[in-house]
Amino acid sequence: MDFGLTDEQEALRESVRDFAREVIAPVIGDYYERHAFPYDIIRQMGKMGLFGLPFPEQHGGMGGDYFTLCLALEEIARVDSSVAITLEAAVSLGAMPIHRFGTDAQRERWLPDLVSGTALAAFGLTEPGFGSDAGGATTRAVLDGDEWVINGAKAFITNSGTDITSLVTVTAVTDVRPDGSKELSTIIVPAGTPGFTVAPGYSKVGWCASDTHELRFDDCRVPAENLLGERGRGFAQFLRILDEGRIAIAALAVGLAQGCVDESLRYARQRQAFGQPIGAYQAIQFKIADMEVRTHTSRLAYYDAAARMLAGAQFKRQAAVAKLHASECAVQNAREATQIHGGYGFMNEFPVARFWRDAKILEIGEGTSEVQRMIIARDLGLVDGR
Chain centroid, CA 273 distance in Å: 39
Q: Which helix (H) or strand (E) holds 384?
A: none
Strand bridging mode 212-223 / 272-273: unpaired
CATH 1.20.140.10, the chain: domain bounds: 236-379
The pLDDT of residue 385 is 53
Nearest to residue 25, comparing CAs of 276, 259, 185?
A: 259
The pLDDT of residue 192 is 97
Specify the CATH superfamily of domain 236-379. Answer: Butyryl-CoA Dehydrogenase, subunit A, domain 3 (1.20.140.10)
Distance separating alpha carbons of residues 250 and 261, to the nearest angstrom: 17
Distance separating alpha carbons of residues 331 and 363, to the nearest angstrom: 8
CATH 2.40.110.10, the chain: domain bounds: 122-231
**For residues 302 and 312, is the Cβ–Cβ distance under 8 A?**
no
The pLDDT of residue 255 is 98
| Options 108, 147, 366, 370, the catalytic residue | 366
Residue 378 phi, psi (nearest 5):
-65, -40
Distance separating alpha carbons of residues 276 and 330, to the nearest angstrom: 29
The type of residue at 193 is T
Q: What is the CATH number of domain 122-231?
A: 2.40.110.10
Mean pLDDT per block of 10 residues along the chain (386 residues) reads 85 97 97 97 98 93 94 98 98 96 96 97 92 79 97 97 98 91 95 98 97 98 97 91 96 98 98 96 98 98 97 96 98 98 94 97 95 95 72
Phi-psi category of 142—alpha, beta or left, where left has phi over 0 and alpha has psi -120 to 50? beta
| Catalytic annotation present for 366 | yes
Nearest to residue 358, comparing CAs of 83, 17, 45, 69?
A: 83
CATH 1.10.540.10, the chain: domain bounds: 7-120
- Contacts for 143-146: CB closer than 8 Å, 24+ residues apart: 143/174, 143/224, 144/221, 145/224, 146/223, 146/224
Q: Which fold has domain 7-120?
A: Butyryl-Coa Dehydrogenase, subunit A; domain 1 (1.10.540)
Nearest to residue 281, comparing CAs of 290, 268, 294?
A: 268
